[in-house]
Amino acid sequence: MSELKFKGYAIEDTSKWDQFKLIDFEPKPFGDTDVEIKIEYCGVCGSDVHTITGGWGQPNLPLVVGHEIAGIATRVGSKVTTVKPGDRVGVGAQVCSCGQCHLCKHSNEQYCPKRVFTYNAKYESGLVTQGGYSTAIRCDERFVFPIPENLKLEEAAPLFCGGLTVFSPLIRNGTGPGKKVGIVGIGGLGHLAIQFAKALGADEVVVFSHSKRKEEDALRLGGTKFIVPEKGFEKDLHASLDLILCTANVADGIPLNEYISTLAPGGRFVMVALPESELPSLGATTLVTGTYYGGSLLGSKEEALQMLKLASEKGIKPWIEVLPMKEAGQAVRNVKEGKGRYRYVLK
């Protein structure tokens, strides 16, 4: 039997989204392929705020959010082969998939129709998943990632959602030598995307932000050019970028058509931030420019392991501020107000 107590900071009402209450909760039954983890740190993701405010719909309440988890494995199932008790490990935004479909078998398990997210989802039994603003988590070893020894737990935590969310589309779209990449937005996701694009060897990393005050940060992180997307900004970049990774809210009035025009034929505009409102219409823009517009969700375990190796070798780390977990309310308020620079991590 587990000696860990499963307690977490939960919201009970979306109208009181920044008021957390410490609750006991029931984890999934422990299985042969499961790993139980004592949580040491959990990053605060924008997804947490969208969920607890009801922006993405009414959540299952009471709910413990958090899916950037770093901690210590305390118990492993009899069929677990990649983790042992005492290992430093992380968990991201997914805790289960069917493991049998063609998506799961080809490193696309994040798109499995039977995927289970780390919080606010349900197992087949109907049990609601609870996240990382808590003492412990239990999940299948396929979604547990070993943390390299030279990465601090608190710095590794944001990589398991924020890092993987940007790393996957960078890799899948060929980021490397000879490529020119644009990054829209410098926040929890964007500041990691800049670092990964540079580490992967992109010739140019063009950073777009409405906040001129972030220019120094953008260049320190590895950007080669900083652009405030004011009227006419796209003209000097016409048909020059191979990929634009958009970490900003595309439904928030960004100049989408202008961004698309900066892509070379065959170039891709990939959004990774899911808006609360409808996506804007592009009309015939992508057709007449020979470009593509789409999205990306999380990443595979294979990509997570690649990401951690690269972060370990290249010294990639999020810029974080650590707060006690009991101050989760302050952390989510700050994230909603855009005050983070660039990731809060709860301890």
Q: Mean pLDDT throughout 132-157?
A: 98
Query: Average pLDDT of the chain?
Result: 96
> For 112-130, what is each residue's pLDDT tens digit?
999 999 999 999 999 999 9
Say if residue 178 is in the same domain as residue 153.
no
Of 254, 273, 295, the residue that ends a domain is 295
Number of independent structural domains in the chain: 2
What's the domain range around 266? Answer: 163-295
pLDDT tens digits, 156-200: 999 999 999 999 999 999 999 999 999 999 999 999 999 999 999
Q: Helix, strand or coil for residue 306?
A: helix
pLDDT in tens, 61-89: 999 999 999 999 999 999 999 999 999 99
pTM for the model stands at: 0.96
Put residue 24 in one of left, alpha, beta given phi > 0 → left and psi -120 to 50 → alpha. beta
In sequence order, which residues have a C-beta less than 8 Å from that of residue 80 and are 6 or more positions away? 32, 33, 34, 35, 141
Using pLDDT thresholds of 50, 70 and 90, give the confidence band for residue 280. confident
Residue 184 domain-assigned? yes
Banded pLDDT at 93 (limits 50, 70, 90) = very high
- Chain-centre distance of CA 323, in angstroms? 19
DSSP H/E element including 72: strand 69-76
Q: What is the DSSP string of 86-106?
A: T-EEEE-SEEE--S-SHHHHT
Residue in this structure with the two tokens 């309440």, named with its chain if needed: 61
Q: Do 173 and 69 share a domain, yes or no?
A: no
Flag whether 323 is in a domain.
Answer: yes
Residue 252 has pLDDT above 80, yes or no: no
* Predicted pLDDT of residue 2: 56
Report the distance separating Cα 323 and Cα 54, nearest Å: 24
Examine the domain organization and report whether 156 and 191 are in the same domain: no
**Which helix (H) or strand (E) segment is 218 a member of?**
helix 215-221
